[in-house]
Amino acid sequence: MSEKIVSLEDIVSLAKRRGFVFGSSEIYGGYAGVYDYGPYGVELANNLKNAWWKYMVQQRQDIVGLDSGIFMHPEIWKASGHVGGFSDPLAECNNCHTRIRADHTLEELGEQADEKMSTEQLNNLFDKHRTEIKCPNCGKKEFGEVKNFNLLVKSNLGNFSDDMDDNPVYLRGETCQGIYVNFPNVVDSSRVKVPFGIAQIGKAFRNEISPRQFIFRTREFEQMEMQYFTNPETELEEFEKLRQYRWNFYKTIGIREENMQWHKHENLVFYAKEAYDIEYKYPFGFKELEGVHARGDYDLGAHQKGSGKDLTYFDPTGNTRYLPHVIESSVGLNRMFLAVLSDAYTVETLANGESRTVLKLHPSLAPIKFAVSPLLRNKPELVAKAHEVYDMLSKNYMCEFDDNGNIGKRYRRQDEIGTPKCITIDFQTLEDGTVTVRDRDTTEQTRTKIENIAG
Ligand code: GAP
């Protein structure tokens, strides 16, 4: 059995064909930077969120959950520094006004366009390559200077003026600000003691100028973030523990370790103590999957200043009062989704020369756990028994009743969506209560008693 290297096109095609991911607003010609998750996609996404929540909240005595609003007081985004400094460097084509990410373009030309570079440094690098940089829309080489473009998405919620720029509110650019501003509420209302964490899953919005690489970089996405509040003296110790803990998470969901690597940030923002990314080997190369950062007291300090409220914490263990330091773990659900699909997508050439595409998803992530089929769809007694088995299993598992096509075709379809087990009800089932269980990875078939199907 041999395996083929996977391209992004293979994954996009399977995602669309099998109902995992659709481009947004397709019948209206599409809408850039937003994707819709289809019947299997929503199952996979929910399974990923559940796996993250279980690992980050359920199995931890020191982490609690939160679900804060997408809209917040606009002062929050000023205090956090987002209104002033949350931007991407862009250059605009003087001919057709298409905007490009200057840093991405320079990276494609082999330059190290670091995210912490000043606009002046980027402009110097951009000037060096000016004669090579073609507009992706009109083909002209006439870009203006590199300028910063703010990523926050504005809204007029609760604002009845005609001018959107008159006191705008923002759709959150990251979920963690809702965590910081709820720090005192959680301390006052629950039994948490520093060090402890607050976890949240929710939508975030960014005006990305060049959404790209399928669901890797989008304008609307879901983040899974955990902010851990520490005593300043133990921040780095806790950081190392969190780094290891997050790495291990990916092993629990079956991602192959050889496809992951750490990237250490060398040029840190002034308040950060340490910053690392977990990178995954996507079909377009190693890219950031998740950030693990030690952020010092920047976040609580910024909101203490912005709100005028005391956010210090009284630590009964040492009878001291301090502003906790934050370490965070932050990952985009869609980046995790794409990593999981890339890792699982396998094309095998079987011993008989045929090839099959199979998503070797960790069983806990598979959208459908059991496909249940009658051997023949025109035999009412087999169909009735298959419905009975479906009803039994679907109380606890996501199942699919599949009586389309012949058995071989059903297996191919279920392999492509990663269903771990296919159950077939045949005439023997009616006699002795056993069914055929076909395993996705080995393709082996065994006979099992109905009551033992789920193990
Ligand atoms: N609270 C920290 C924060 O938001 P970030 O590095 O900007 O830091 C964290 O984002 C994670 O969110 C990234 O590692 C990535 O997984 C995800 N993410 C950020 N921008 C994204 C986008 N436009 N599309 C999809 N995921 C994104």
Dmax of the chain from CA atoms? 79
Average pLDDT over all residues of the chain: 94
Residue nearest to atom 11 of ligand 1 (CA): 331
Task: Give tens-digit pLDDT for 294-350.
Answer: 999 999 999 999 999 999 999 999 999 999 999 999 999 999 999 999 999 999 988
Q: Which of 258, 312, 290 is nearest to 48 (CA)?
A: 290
Q: Which atom number of ligand 1 is nearest to the Cα of residue 206?
A: 23
Q: Which of 33-42, 118-127, 438-447 has the lowest mean pLDDT?
A: 118-127
Four-residue CA torsion sign, 329, 234, 81, 200: positive
Residue 416 lies in a domain: yes
Same domain, 227 and 289: yes
* Pocket probe mutation, ligand 1, options 77, 153, 174, max atoms within 8 Å of Cβ: 174
Which residue, chain included where needed, has tokens 């301390």?
A: 187
Same domain, 448 and 320: no
Q: Which atom number of ligand 1 is nearest to the Cα of residue 288?
A: 14
Question: According to the model, what pLDDT value does residue 4 have?
Answer: 59
* Pocket probe mutation, ligand 1, options 221, 280, 328, max atoms within 8 Å of Cβ: 221
Residue 119 lies in a domain: yes
> Ligand 1 centroid to 141 CA: how many Å?
31
239 sits in which H/E element: helix 235-252
Instruction: DSSP for 302-367, please give it.
Output: HHHHHH-----EEETTTTEEE--EEEEEEEEHHHHHHHHHHHHEEEEE-TTS-EEEEE---TTT-S
Same domain, 77 and 97: no
User: 276, 309, 343 — which closes off a domain?
Assistant: 343
Q: Which of 294, 327, 365, 341 is nearest to 52 (CA)?
A: 365
Residue 353 lies in a domain: no
- First CA to last CA distance, the chain: 28
Looking at per-residue pLDDT, the higher value among 404 and 80 belongs to 80
Same domain, 418 and 276: no
As a whole number, mean pLDDT of residues 130-157 equals 92
Same domain, 305 and 444: no
Number of domains composing the chain:
3
Question: According to the model, what pLDDT value does residue 254 have?
Answer: 97
Q: Which atom number of ligand 1 is nearest to the Cα of residue 175?
A: 1
Structure tokens at 363: 């069983």
Residue nearest to atom 20 of ligand 1 (CA): 217
Same domain, 79 and 95: no
> Ligand 1 centroid to 226 CA: how many Å?
13
Structure tokens at 423: 């159950």
Tell me how far CA of residue 117 lies from CA of 87, 112, 186, in angstroms.
12, 10, 37
Same domain, 113 and 100: yes
> Ligand 1 centroid to 366 CA: how many Å?
25
Question: According to the model, what pLDDT value does residue 352 have?
Answer: 84
Residue nearest to atom 24 of ligand 1 (CA): 217
Looking at per-residue pLDDT, the higher value among 392 and 116 belongs to 392
Measured from CB, residues less than 6 Å from any atom of ligand 1 are 174, 176, 206, 208, 217-218, 221, 223, 225, 288-291, 328, 330-332, 334-335
| Alpha carbon distance 111, 88 (integer Å) | 17
| Alpha carbon distance 336, 321 (integer Å) | 38
Task: Give tens-digit pLDDT for 267-281.
Answer: 888 889 999 999 999
Tell me how far CA of residue 6 lies from CA of 100, 232, 282, 451, in angstroms.
28, 45, 9, 38
Q: Give the structural domain span for 439.
A: 368-452
> Ligand 1 centroid to 187 CA: how many Å?
27
> Ligand 1 centroid to 279 CA: how many Å?
12
Ramachandran quadrant class, 108 (left: phi over 0; alpha: psi -120 to 50; beta: rest): alpha
Name 93's bridge partners: 143
Residue nearest to atom 27 of ligand 1 (CA): 332
> Ligand 1 centroid to 332 CA: how many Å?
6
Q: What is the pTM of this model?
A: 0.93
Same domain, 328 and 216: yes
Report residue 187 CA to chain centroid gap. 28
> Ligand 1 centroid to 164 CA: how many Å?
26
Q: Cβ–Cβ contacts within 10 Å for residue 374, how many?
A: 23
Alpha carbon dihedral 117, 119, 120, 124, in 10-degree steps, equals: 80
| Alpha carbon distance 350, 2 (integer Å) | 8
Residue nearest to atom 15 of ligand 1 (CA): 332
Residue nearest to atom 17 of ligand 1 (CA): 332
Q: Which atom number of ligand 1 is nearest to the Cα of residue 290?
A: 14
> Ligand 1 centroid to 413 CA: how many Å?
33
At residue 3, does pLDDT exceed 70?
A: no
Amino acid at 352: N
| Alpha carbon distance 112, 120 (integer Å) | 15
Same domain, 218 and 325: yes
Asked whether the bond before 211 is cis by omega within 30 degrees of 0, the reply is no
> Ligand 1 centroid to 82 CA: how many Å?
14
Residue 352 lies in a domain: no
As a whole number, mean pLDDT of residues 278-300 equals 97
Same domain, 112 and 42: no
At residue 2, does pLDDT exceed 60?
A: no
Residue 360 lies in a domain: no
Residue 363 lies in a domain: no
